[in-house]
Amino acid sequence: MREQLWHWQGLNANGERLHGTIWGNHRPAVLIALQQQRITVITLKRRSINASQWRTQHSCMVISQLATLLQAGLTLSDSLTLLAQQHPSAQWRALLSSLSERLAQGVSLSEGLQQWPQAFPPLYLAMIRTGEITGKLEQCCLELVRQQKAQLLLAVKVKKALRYPMIILSLAALVVMAMTGFVLPEFTAIYRTFNTPLPTLTLAVMAMAAFVEQWFFIILLLPIIPLVLSTALKNHPPWQRTRQKIVLSLPVMGKLARGQKLSQIFTVLALTQRAGIAFLQGLETVEMTLVCPWWREIISTLYQDIAHGSAIWQAMEKSQVFTPLCLQLVRTGEASGALDEMLDNLARHHDENTQNLAENLTSLLEPMLLIVTGLIIGTLVVAMYLPIFHLGDAISGMG
């Protein structure tokens, strides 16, 4: 049963009136948990859960604050308790209190986070587990925060870059609808009074406009159908593989997607290498951070090839996913014994390249946008004025 959020009011052992929030599967379980804390419950009400509180920026902020407290010398349990007391969200206060209690029972932080997949995705669990293994929890938390902030910044840049083309295309669509629905029919009506056939281009545009008018609602649904199917099949592994291949094949978006994933992969590998963890174990950690089955299979195949004796760079080359720079630096790192430095360089390189590409996305799309809108508007203008060019011949014929 999925855990629910409860708000309680009660008295402690000293008779003081207290209140708070707690997670629990059902009312009896919550009452038992509060009794174990020596709280006499007066009221207990279930509260609604705000799903937006589980967004990446909120989880990232909690991990960032946790890393800061750990760097200040506080213990993990004390850090979680302090965060639980200070967090403005009731459901986060209850979550952090629950984590602190589980730590007191001997459960590790990564195991405790597994209970909250809606707030902490696999990448969080893998990075926290890496920090626990290496004894560098605060460093892994900071690296996780850096990676997540970079990903959020990338998403903002891409949305900002795509906003301008979407506005231009929407305006172009409105112009097309106005010209084909109102202006062009008036021109053709005037032209037909002279009993002269319309030019072929004008007839083709009019036929297209009539087709769009007849099937307007069905055409309107066509772009929505892929979105609905994509949402419905979001967690379906075969579709996840297909979608990833489609995204990677796109000219600009493919580079963005590949760069973001490679940055994530090399960041985790660099962390595990600096901590002295074997490369194969580092690959296992990388696989746990990846959600997409296609990327997980790539890393799994890489693991198998290296385990059977292949050099790391050769296994990467065989996968046909890693860039030539990746192969060159990894090969150099293997030969020189500075693999951790090369992996760190690759992580920073792909992160910087991806951010720069996102910033320049608008300038990359503008030429294509101008060509498309120019062809559409130009064709309509020619189709509209072409009858006028022949109007003199029609009038001369009547004379």
Does the pLDDT value for residue 6 go beyond 90? no
Binning the chain into helix, strand and coil, the percentages to the nearest 5 are 75, 5, 20
Does the pLDDT value for residue 1 go beyond 50? no
What torsion do the CA atoms of 382, 388, 393, 395 make, to the nearest 10 degrees? 160
Categorize the per-residue pLDDT at 396 as very low, low, confident or very high, splitting at 50, 70 and 90.
low
Q: What angle do CA 276, 330, 240 make, to 5 degrees?
A: 90
Is residue 155 situated within a structural domain? no
Q: 39-48, 107-116, 234-243, 359-368: which has the highest mean pLDDT?
A: 107-116
Share of the chain above pLDDT 90, in %: 13
Is residue 390 situated within a structural domain? no
Write the CATH number for 79: 1.20.81.30
Categorize the per-residue pLDDT at 395 as very low, low, confident or very high, splitting at 50, 70 and 90.
low
259 and 353 both lie in a single domain: yes
- Parent domain of 266: 253-359
pLDDT for the residue 233: 66
Sheet containing 4-11: order of strands: 17-24, 4-11, 40-47
60 and 44 both lie in a single domain: no
Is residue 324 situated within a structural domain? yes
pLDDT (tens digit per residue) in 320-341: 889 999 999 999 999 998 898 9
276 and 316 both lie in a single domain: yes
Categorize the per-residue pLDDT at 393 as very low, low, confident or very high, splitting at 50, 70 and 90.
low
pLDDT (tens digit per residue) in 182-225: 777 777 677 767 666 777 887 888 787 777 777 878 877 877 88
301 and 333 both lie in a single domain: yes
62 and 133 both lie in a single domain: yes
pLDDT for the residue 394: 57
Is residue 15 situated within a structural domain? yes
Question: Within 13 Å, how many C-alpha atoms sit on residue 104's CB side?
Answer: 11
42 and 72 both lie in a single domain: no
Domain final position from 113, 146, 179: 146
263 and 336 both lie in a single domain: yes
109 and 136 both lie in a single domain: yes
72 and 128 both lie in a single domain: yes
Is residue 137 situated within a structural domain? yes
63 and 106 both lie in a single domain: yes
Q: What is the mean pLDDT of the chain?
A: 82
Domain final position from 96, 131, 146: 146
pLDDT (tens digit per residue) in 117-161: 888 888 788 888 888 887 888 888 888 888 788 878 877 887 777
Categorize the per-residue pLDDT at 89 as very low, low, confident or very high, splitting at 50, 70 and 90.
confident
pLDDT (tens digit per residue) in 265-283: 898 888 788 777 788 988 9
58 and 43 both lie in a single domain: no
Domain total in the chain = 3
